[in-house]
Structure 1
Amino acid sequence: MLSDIAFYGAIETGLIYGLVAFGIYLSFRVLDFPDLTVDGSFPLGAAVAAMLILAGWNPWLATGAAIMAGMCAGAVTALLNVKLNILHLLASILTMIALYSINLRIMGRPNVALLSETTVLTPWYDLGLAFHLVPVTLFLIVVVVALLLLWRFMKSEVGLAMRATGANPRMARAQGIHTGAMVVLGVALSNGLVGLAGALFAQSQGAADVTMGVGVIVIGLASLIGGEAVLTPSTVLRALIACVLGAIIYRLAIAFALNADALGLQAQDLNLITAVLVTLAIVLPGFRNNIRARFTRDKA
């Protein structure tokens, strides 16, 4: 069984990775743009927020700057693809590699600590909530606000144009939509959300590290695919809710696996657990559909 601290810690981290899943939903599902930039924009958001907080900035302004930095990184990837005709996957890899050096430049060293600094969480500890409930409460509010804003955006004229770009670029261009601009905007927003997640993660963990983005794309995909396996994304709202559910379920599954003595798993088995969970998330929907089809056929 999980302790309260482990349980709420998994929820807290799951909510942060829910923001990553939002970003991956925008790039992978809406725009059909496989984007690996997130492995670099996640620590970029953490680095920018951490250094600005150390410089005396208000933590919310520092977090906003982290979002803008993530958007700039995403825009670079999209422009490499749109303007220079570099394959989207290669363009994102190039940006991700460049961001490793940029993040080192921003921080001046591989990691920085925020343990004694004022963060977005600091005022919430004075509200009388239990210590482990503070980040969960704040991050839940942030995720809900981000979800509602993203949902409203996807229903707007620009959002519909972006969805049309991902669904059928040729038809979208025939309707007068500037598909290149939609790709740049969509990938920028995607990485802005990932930058926000990185900034919150750094403030939650009390440190920013240049390697903290390794594997973020896999975690985001696991959250996205797992959430879609649990909640069929028949609408945009359901798809966004599925992203959050998938991220929380993923982190809880990791926590249960690592705390189950019978399994004998340790921290170094994290990548193995992730691979198994992603495989199950991919396979289970098809397995479920086969059972449903067989049941319908037998009933007929």
Structure 2
Amino acid sequence: MTAMHLSSASAVWQMDPMALDARLRDFLNEDIGHVDLTSTLMIDEASTGQFEMRAREPMTIAGLSVAARVFSLYDASLDIEVLAADGQTVPEGTTLMRLQGSARSLLTVERTALNLIQHLSGIATLTARYVERIAGTGAQLVDTRKTTPGLRALEKHAVACGGGRNHRLGLDSGVMLKDNHIAVCGGITEAVTRAKSRVPVLTRIEVECDRLDQVEEALAAGADVIMLDNMPVETMRSAVELVGGKVSLEASGGVRLETIRAIAETGVDFISVGRVTQSAPAVDIGLDEALDSAAYRASLRPVAPQPAQSTQEN
């Protein structure tokens, strides 16, 4: 029986469980192929083991429940104990998960599970650093659609674990009028008018602006959110004064750890950062045999009888 002790914070809330399982099976199929040749050749079918997943550096966790699900999808008989929660910041050396059962299964799934949690925790860790930089300003960090194909829901979950907010999950989540949309429609006013006449009533309209006159036009046209695209900090501050809190303002474009505080202090509501999903380095997490694994294996295997020692003197 699989024992999985998960907190409610560990749920991947953007994905239906059936959709998540289908995606994880694809990941396993990609890595295993026809058979895990090494584990099948080298490890007896009845061999068992105990392993621990540990953080090898300080990090903010994301994807722990996903990693556990990868193991249980492949082998439902594995005993899995999750010892931390997504969104938790842990020091180096923290044990995140304990697993025991078929040694073949554990080693076959190891890389797929680690790839996911290392990548997602890297995103959460970097996001947390950005969020920390703007603490107390009132601005909120949001992600973008600059995500890895096939991993968007998981990566956006990781952003949430790091304390960020999600922007659009996909193109169907909202209307964002960028410069090319505006150019095709003939201008900001025309584009907003067209969108407002057709958009679902609960869907907001955001307009991308890179000049103050565009901000003024978007506000007059009835935009719900205005994006300040690659504006200098002083221009952003002027835009905040111009809008006067009538609509939400999002700052975007080239935001880095070194610049985000000054941007937040202009008074914008949101700051979108593509780097947190597009460029976050993976963190170091390992799956190591537990110190008492040998004793655990011995307890499950019958001890072979030892030949009696001869008492005859030579």
Q: Scaled by the length of structure 2, what TM-score is found?
A: 0.22
Between structure 1 and structure 2, the one with the greater Rg is 2
Q: Scaled by the length of structure 1, what TM-score is found?
A: 0.23
* Structure with the higher helix share, 1 or 2: 1
* Structure with the higher strand share, 1 or 2: 2
